[in-house]
Structure formats: structure tokens, C-alpha cells
Amino acid sequence: MSPLRAIRLVAWALVVVSLAVTFAFREHAAPGAPETAIPRDARAMFGGPFSIGDMRGGRLTERDLIGRPSLLFFGFTNCPDVCPTTLTEIADWLDRLGDAGREMTAYFVTVDPERDTAPFLREYLAAFDDRIVGLVGDENETHRIAEAWRVHYRRVPLEGGNYTMDHTASVFMIDRKGQFAGTIDFHEDREVALAKLRTLVR
């Protein structure tokens, strides 16, 4: 088994363990109840102009989010638990949505473009689901899309000259109009998350 294929198995184990452990993580997210209507003011707070490269060599802008429901998650490939767990959960949601899940695209925006190159993102995300598209930009592009979605991220130095990234852990839901439609919290109950997504894809 390749190391990247093993990522998904490890992530599934983390999901199981998390059911028995209370895990605190810094995040900006809405309470865990299915959104039926997002106030106009709240919709206006999230989203805006951006342009960023994708792992396939193309580019994505806010206009490309119009026409189909999508998910947006910010993270990095060296993340030890939050990111692989969330990516595994996203893959599970898409599978459980059935036909509706096949029309949805999930985007993984790296907040660590220094290490997360497009080729590596392709290989890394292949371990989860081919409907998850990696987005990577330069420092300014990363800052712009994070600012548009009010995402916090910062580099945290570690011993030995290494570093990790602190970042918002929520998954943003985007409707067919390309507008913010709510969030799914880190470790949100699966059925609550699926209820939100079924509302999103109607």
C-alpha cells in the first residue's frame, strides 16, 4: 500500500477515535444545525473576487462557483489530523449523497503553498476522492481567497526550523448562485452535516 493511500485509512481511524474523544480546535464556524435560510447580511460577509490556480493547471475564480453546489475547505497536506479527517468526511458525504453528490465539487485550498505544489496536491487528494480539487496560489492569491472567505491562517514555527499551520477548520457550503450557504463544523454529527448538504443540493 502506498503512503498516500494509507492516509485515508489512518484518517478513518481518526474519525472513529474522535467519536469517543472531545477534541478542541480553533475555528470560525456556525452552530451545528441545518441552515434553511441564511440571512442576506450573513451571505454578504463571505465570498468575493479571487483568482487562484488549481492542481490541474487551470484557474478558479468566484465566477466558476456559479452553476453547481460546492464545498470549500482550507488546510494543508502536512496537517496531522484535522485536514485528513475532514477530507475523509467530505468523501463520505459525497458518497452518501448518491447522485446528488456527483454534481457537487469540493475544493481544498492549501494555506501552505510553499510546500503544497500542484503535483503533490494531485497525488495527496487522490487518496480521498476525485471530486476534491486542490487549489494552490502564490502568497497574494492565497491571502485574497482566505480574506474573501474570512479564513484565519498563520504559520507556527516548530523546533528544528520546521513549521505547522494554524487555520480555520470549517467547511464552507456554496449554493448554485455561488453564494455562501452555511458551514459544516469540524467533527459535526454526520447526519446533521448530510441534512445541510441535502438542503444545499436541492
Beta-strand relationship, 171-174 and 180-184:
antiparallel
Whether residue 192 contacts residue 32, with contact meaning beta carbons closer than 8 Å, is answered with: yes
Question: Where residue 19 sits, what CATH number does that domain have?
Answer: 3.40.30.10
Whether the pLDDT of residue 35 is over 50: the answer is no
Which pLDDT score is estimated for 187? 85
Average pLDDT score, the chain: 84
Host domain of residue 167: 3-201
Q: Which three cell numbers stand for residue 158?
A: 516548530
Residue 72 backbone phi and psi in degrees, to 5:
-130, 125
Assess whether pLDDT exceeds 60 at residue 33: no
Q: What cell numbers appear for 112 in the block?
A: 501552505
pLDDT at 139: 94
pLDDT in the model for residue 30: 36
Looking at the predicted structure, is the pLDDT value of residue 121 above 80?
yes
Q: For position 3, what pLDDT does the model report?
A: 47
Which pTM was predicted? Answer: 0.80
Please report, rounded to a whole number, the percentage of residues in the chain having pLDDT higher than 70.
79
pLDDT at 201 over 90: yes
**pLDDT tens, position by position, 136-168:** 999 999 999 999 999 999 999 999 999 999 999
- In this predicted model, what pLDDT tens digit does every residue of 36-92 receive, in sequence order? 456 666 667 899 999 999 999 999 999 999 999 999 999 999 999 999 999 999 999
Q: Are 121 and 134 in contact (CB under 8 A)?
A: yes
Q: Flag whether pLDDT at 15 surpasses 80.
A: no
User: Residue 31: pLDDT above 50?
Assistant: no
6 versus 178: the higher-pLDDT residue is 178
What pLDDT, on the 0 to 100 scale, is given for residue 88? 97
Cα→Cα distances 36→31, 112, 182, 197, 200, Å: 13, 34, 9, 11, 9
Residues 110-119 have pLDDT tens digits of: 999 999 999 9
SS3 string, 36-56, reads CCCCHHHHHHCCCCCEEEECC
Residue 22: pLDDT band with limits 50, 70, 90: very low
pLDDT at 45: 86
Query: How many domains are contained in the chain?
Result: 1
> 26-30, 32-36, 103-107, 114-118: which has the minimum mean pLDDT?
26-30
Q: At what angle do helices 3-18 and 82-96 cross, to 10 degrees?
A: 90
